[in-house]
Amino acid sequence: MSVATMTFRMYGLTGVETRPIVVRNAVIAGWTGRDSVAREKHITELIALGVARPASTPIYYRVSTSRLTTSAQIEAVGENSSGEAEFFLLRDAGKIWVGAGSDHTDRKVETYNVTTSKQMCDKPIAPELWPFDDVRDHWDSLILRSWIDEGGEQRLYQEGSVAAMLPPQAIIDGYGELGEGTVMFGGTLAARGGIRPSNRFMFELWDPVRNRRIAYAYDIKTLPNVG
C-alpha cells in the first residue's frame, strides 16, 4: 500500500491547526449526479465521443496516493488533459474533513480507458480543510467554481452547487466506507463551453453561509508526446 504524508491547514470554528495527515487511499467517485435523466443524457453524449458507458453509477476509480499534490504546477504529457473542480472528503482520526481539488484527467486516454486516464495525471488539491460537521447543515449551499486561462483572459469554466451531486453520505455508502486516511473526490460539474485544455486551472469551494472559501490554482506544464 502506498501512502503519502500531506500537510493541511485545518479550519474549525475554534481556530486553525496546521499538521500532517497520512493519506492511505485515493478514490475518484464518478457519475455522482443526483439527476438521473441528466446523468443518462451526459452518458449518451460521451458514448458519441467514444467514451464507454460506466459499469455503474456512481463508479469509483482508485488512483495512487502519490498522484495527490499541493504543488502549484503539474506536468502532463501532450495537450489533451484538463482539470475539473471537485469537493473531496477525507477521514482523519475518525473525523470527516472537506476539501477542494481538481481531478486532472487525460481526455484522449479517457476515450479508451477511464481508469487509466485517471492515473495518468496528478490531482492538485488545496492544502486547506473544513470539518464536515461545520457545513453539514447547509451542505447544498456550497458552490464549486473553476476558471481557465483562454485567449489571454481568465474565463469561468465551471460553476454550480454541490447539490448537483449526490449527498456525501450517499457517495460514501456507494463505495462501502470512507476508511481512515482515505481521500474521496465527489464528482464534478459540466464545463461551460465544453471540456478543453488550458495552461492554468483555478478552482474554489465557497461557503456562502459562513462566507469563506477554499481556493487554489495550478499551472500545467506540457511535456512532448513523441510516440
Range of the domain at 42: 4-223
- Domain tally, the chain: 1
Residue 218, sorted as left (phi over 0), alpha (psi -120 to 50) or beta, turns out to be beta
CATH code, 95 = 3.90.850.10
pLDDT tens track for 66-84: 999 999 999 999 999 999 9
63-to-68, 90, 117, 120 alpha-carbon distances in Å:
9, 15, 10, 9
> Strands 143-150, 25-30: parallel, antiparallel or unpaired by DSSP?
unpaired
User: What was the pLDDT predicted at 24?
Assistant: 97
pLDDT tens track for 162-203: 999 999 999 999 999 999 999 999 999 989 998 899 999 999
